[in-house]
Structure 1
């Protein structure tokens, strides 16, 4: 039975678990997630508020983002430095904020090693002088004395966290960081005691584990996050991972294992699988590792999409704990809602990796559809009830209009939502029907449920007119009618060409195959274009993406961009950079180089499609204003941007009306 007296739907997920000397209240763990919320290598109030909310939301254990243990691990200054004793008081505040909610706080300790991406004047260090596969930075090969100094820094960092009130530490030995660099034959070619054989490569990590256990005692929780497949030739593969697990189980000292995939080679996308991956892509691999763990608890993770999926993952023996990151970014109360029978109120993660892109652009973590993320009142947030009830007409039932509608209705306003299509969702609904983009529909479903719950009146299937809106006599109109692609400036106006949405909508409706070549002119550079390219590749004999830029995907986060190139290469989609279409005549497309003007041709072009900068679709604004009706534009109708901007702006409009 649940705390509220009803039969619990997920009894395994919400059963307690003994990890080391600690009992976790359930199996939900927030995995280490770089947030970008720290400031000047110190925990900020926002970082603490973020974790406090997830602890209050029912999560059993939170693993912090990577915290550097030594000055040579000069990562971004938004990461919290553990080698600085001056951080002790703020670490104590952090621990108290989480632990007081009944949630265990575990600090992830680590060193970036050769992946010195943020400080070009610093000296990167590693097990060997082999280059980093992302930046090709060549590190300094540490001497044995320098390795011993780093080992000591891990021990000191763990003790500092223990004094601060943290329940334990997680050693970050995944994703190609320093511990992986020692463990993996891909990055360790030493011939001293820290290299050579497998036992030698594992000595560094073994000394760290032994040192922490000796200093901090048996009650201090300690886990190891490690790769079960680096995804690169010569690296840690599943067979090698099994042997590493058996080694550390025999050596003792660890309270749990967490398994992840990839390093900073193109396999990096595996550590944070986006919506193009299948659900739970690595769980069977984790189940295989668990068989070698000798009863030591295992954390499985990676695109586990629902509480039901998490429950099934545990039942199938893939892990003892279920790690979530992006799902808990989307909804701090994920665990409490799932446990208390409110699963339909969980704001679902759509695995777009927008959050990852914002973090690694240095702007701090932002969720595409959780505008209250990391605010002080996030866990208990609800729209404030209005003191003056208004009648509000919202024109446009895309994600901006839906967000404004449900927020305004939740505040107590009478809300009428108008959409020209028979279904709500707008451009986001169209995108969700493209290959690999189906998860976007989950965000729309969430908005629609909230709108229905709060009494929004839907008017769908016909365009709103000035007369229709005026007859409603609204106090305010929120215009959320989106934007539309503009004609390519280089293309002759007599050319037969179609905007991306029109062309793909026709393909999705017809299901027919076509001879000839489809050419997509890409001035958009979002993931939408490349999902459309996959659709065209399935329907046409040949597909070409042409762009005026040196490459494609400038608006796609790096992790997802790896996937874009992987799929484009697998499908043999051709990419023509630095080029502009000029004219299409008799199925021959002429184009020119954007830099030197050289001309080229593509024969047998059956379809020319463009994704270009968009123009706002705000035709009703002037007419409504002329009738004395207050009008506010939001989302792409205000300025064409992203799905995140549309939702966040709709959210704000709903709160301010």
Structure 2
């Protein structure tokens, strides 16, 4: 049966080769004053991978809104040459491109020294800043900035723009009764609150012409008391279209930067497409304007269903494209795309100012610096022995085999996947197994010979060739804290045998990552009193804020008692003594049955047979230094690529 989402789409202003869009995602690869080569390569990779439509990250539409130091300034005409290169790069690969125009309004998240503008004053619930109420001249000036920005992109060859009217930014602030308390023509009822958006669409159409597309991304439900809900969104859609300002599509999103932000980028704790009813509701309200569904669309098959059942006309995906830039190309060629786990580590990277990254797609965000394919010459072909089949070992083996080398992968256990499998063993974290499963299949399909249940000892090593290269990826070992008078169980053991835990369970958190909290909630659901101890001011410091909301909510709902700035000292008479990490004051936290520690970890020892072996060319992953998934994936990939480059040069010489 033909794929609905891969069929062509044609409207009055947009002709797309398919109905799949790579939607706006901050990537931190640009600069305010520069459209960088890294930024262009990032978008070009998704265009080359088959996206029908590319929507850029939000581009600043007015000097009163400079969200961070990486977002290019669309209002700056000096950037037109860079935008021209970007548009040409996407067009060269057959994709259409829209620039998302963005004004953050009162949400001065990354630039708190600026004076934020908003339709009404008041304190922003996330950034904590208090906005200046815009007067009539401010509003007109911002509208002019949007129009000028659109015209700059038109001159650069863009096919249109998308207005960012979602997630609580300026356009949403005008549309929402939660944030717009004006009584003039820019506020009041639905029609008044929609006036700002209507004037934006009209102004851009007047300046840029009828062939230039204007899409709108809309928050269809803010999930806050007094905010936009689906019924109000339907009224907004009807008001905008009745005013003659119907966009070329409505992209339907949800939530804002309040506690509802948990819904903005639904993570692995949510089902797939959890907000599809919002797209259906908006589609019911339009007068024929196409609707784009977004939010946790995992694959092309799901996109097909959204189109087939009438939920949407177009489907937007972001994290799926971050995990797999060749998403459509692989589906069309019968290959298996790398699936997103929805761990939201990518979101954490961009909202902490780092370049975009994926936990196991080591080229994401590094497209300019990493080659898509590096086939070796026959004389450069080598045999690589990778010891350890955790995420680092699997990536090292996959990369080398994809480059054309003969690769053998050794794992002393009966299963590959390492940390990914341990992570997925925790209730609620099962989707992390997708990464391990895909890597398993990827190394096999690339021709890697996998030796499970094989300890690398002297007998094994003696069979290797003298010119073989060896990469060690044997992972790490837990190093639980010493608690006087008690045995401490590593979380890896407790997670697979929770029925052996007794009485009050104390979870000592030394890693501040999501599996710890999922484990604590699972133990609490089994009827245990659970105490979570962290030496930090708050738990979940290493969890993306958008997912941290859910983590903290679930801990509270499960009744887990969180003790911050606390470390265990001893168990005396069956009772737990703890110490405050700053004041050193000791406290009695009551009776305790089991103590479980999440970390810390130390690098696993090098196998004895390899300690003095000159063929060892690299130690990667947790065996090098226990770190997050992104770091070990990058290290494994880059180490193998470095060895390949050296060996090819040596072979040619």
TM-score by length of 2: 0.94
Deviation at 1:406, TM superposition (A): 2.1
Deviation at 1:101, TM superposition (A): 2.5
Contact 1:513 1:540 in 2 (8 A): no
Q: What SS is found at the alignment partner of 1:81? A: coil
Deviation at 1:248, TM superposition (A): 1.6
Q: What SS is found at the alignment partner of 2:306? A: helix
Deviation at 1:409, TM superposition (A): 2.6
* Residue 18 (structure 1) aligned with residue 10 (structure 2): yes
* Residue 350 (structure 1) aligned with residue 341 (structure 2): yes
Hey, what does 2:359 align to over in structure 1? Answer: 368
- Change in CA separation of 1:636 and 1:514 when aligned onto 2, cut-off 3 Å: closer
Deviation at 1:376, TM superposition (A): 5.2
Hey, what does 1:608 align to over in structure 2? Answer: 595
Contact 1:56 1:379 in 2 (8 A): no
Hey, what does 1:651 align to over in structure 2? Answer: 637
Deviation at 1:41, TM superposition (A): 3.1
Alignment equivalent of 1:484, drawn from 460, 477, 482: 477
Alignment equivalent of 1:576, drawn from 563, 585, 591: 563
Alignment equivalent of 2:171, drawn from 157, 176, 179: 179
Contact 1:330 1:347 in 2 (8 A): yes
Hey, what does 2:550 align to over in structure 1? Answer: 563
Hey, what does 2:646 align to over in structure 1? Answer: none
Distance in 2 (CA, whole Å) between partners of 1:590 and 1:376 is 51
Q: Structure 1: which 5+ residue stretches go unaligned?
A: 1-8
Hey, what does 1:438 align to over in structure 2? Answer: 430
Distance in 2 (CA, whole Å) between partners of 1:383 and 1:530 is 41
Q: What SS is found at the alignment partner of 2:506? A: strand
Alignment equivalent of 1:264, drawn from 257, 267, 271: 257
Distance in 1 (CA, whole Å) between partners of 2:79 and 2:130 is 31
Deviation at 1:609, TM superposition (A): 0.6
Deviation at 1:423, TM superposition (A): 1.2
Distance in 1 (CA, whole Å) between partners of 2:614 and 2:523 is 47
Hey, what does 1:4 align to over in structure 2? Answer: none
Distance in 1 (CA, whole Å) between partners of 2:559 and 2:231 is 32
Q: What SS is found at the alignment partner of 1:169? A: strand
Contact 1:74 1:119 in 2 (8 A): yes
Distance in 2 (CA, whole Å) between partners of 1:171 and 1:582 is 55
Hey, what does 2:408 align to over in structure 1? Answer: 416
Deviation at 1:226, TM superposition (A): 0.8
Hey, what does 2:316 align to over in structure 1? Answer: 323
- Of 548-557 and 435-444, more deviation after overlay is shown by 435-444
Q: What SS is found at the alignment partner of 2:220? A: strand
Contact 2:472 2:616 in 1 (8 A): no
Superposed CA deviations along residues 144-175 of structure 1, whole A, max 9, x for unmatched, are: 12111111211111122111111111111100
Alignment equivalent of 1:531, drawn from 518, 527, 531: 518
- Of 190-199 and 596-605, more deviation after overlay is shown by 596-605
Superposed CA deviations along residues 39-65 of structure 1, whole A, max 9, x for unmatched, are: 233211111111112112211111111
Distance in 2 (CA, whole Å) between partners of 1:47 and 1:268 is 26
Q: What SS is found at the alignment partner of 2:503? A: strand
Distance in 2 (CA, whole Å) between partners of 1:391 and 1:90 is 43
Contact 1:416 1:458 in 2 (8 A): yes
* Residue 339 (structure 1) aligned with residue 326 (structure 2): no
* Residue 505 (structure 1) aligned with residue 476 (structure 2): no
- Change in CA separation of 1:462 and 1:531 when aligned onto 2, cut-off 3 Å: farther
Superposed CA deviations along residues 254-307 of structure 1, whole A, max 9, x for unmatched, are: 111001111110111212111121111111221122111121100001111121
Superposed CA deviations along residues 433-466 of structure 1, whole A, max 9, x for unmatched, are: 2122222222212221221123222221353324
Deviation at 1:524, TM superposition (A): 0.8
Distance in 2 (CA, whole Å) between partners of 1:411 and 1:95 is 31
Hey, what does 1:109 align to over in structure 2? Answer: 101
Superposed CA deviations along residues 353-385 of structure 1, whole A, max 9, x for unmatched, are: 111111122121112222222455699712432
Q: What SS is found at the alignment partner of 1:63? A: strand
Distance in 2 (CA, whole Å) between partners of 1:211 and 1:317 is 32
Q: What SS is found at the alignment partner of 1:603? A: strand
* Residue 231 (structure 1) aligned with residue 226 (structure 2): no
Superposed CA deviations along residues 178-235 of structure 1, whole A, max 9, x for unmatched, are: 0011110111111111112221111111111111122222211011111111111111
Q: What SS is found at the alignment partner of 1:232? A: coil
Deviation at 1:619, TM superposition (A): 3.6
- Of 68-77 and 430-439, more deviation after overlay is shown by 430-439
Hey, what does 1:6 align to over in structure 2? Answer: none
Deviation at 1:654, TM superposition (A): 2.7
Hey, what does 1:72 align to over in structure 2? Answer: 64
Match runs of 1:134-145 below 5 Å? 134-145=126-137
Alignment equivalent of 2:186, drawn from 190, 194, 217: 194
Q: Structure 2: which 5+ residue stretches go unaligned?
A: 644-653
Distance in 1 (CA, whole Å) between partners of 2:217 and 2:251 is 4
State the Cα RMSD in Å. 1.9
Contact 1:10 1:307 in 2 (8 A): no
Q: What SS is found at the alignment partner of 1:608? A: strand
Q: What SS is found at the alignment partner of 1:226? A: strand
Hey, what does 2:294 align to over in structure 1? Answer: 301
Q: What SS is found at the alignment partner of 2:430? A: coil
Paired residues, number: 640
Q: What SS is found at the alignment partner of 1:393? A: strand
Hey, what does 1:626 align to over in structure 2? Answer: 612
Deviation at 1:28, TM superposition (A): 0.6
Contact 2:38 2:368 in 1 (8 A): no
- Of 258-267 and 91-100, more deviation after overlay is shown by 91-100
Superposed CA deviations along residues 112-132 of structure 1, whole A, max 9, x for unmatched, are: 111112333321110011111
Deviation at 1:651, TM superposition (A): 1.4
- Of 109-118 and 623-632, more deviation after overlay is shown by 623-632
Distance in 2 (CA, whole Å) between partners of 1:168 and 1:633 is 48
Hey, what does 2:647 align to over in structure 1? Answer: none
Superposed CA deviations along residues 304-330 of structure 1, whole A, max 9, x for unmatched, are: 112111111111111110101111112
Q: What SS is found at the alignment partner of 1:83? A: coil
Superposed CA deviations along residues 443-495 of structure 1, whole A, max 9, x for unmatched, are: 21222122112322222135332433334346232211111221325x22x42
TM-score by length of 1: 0.94
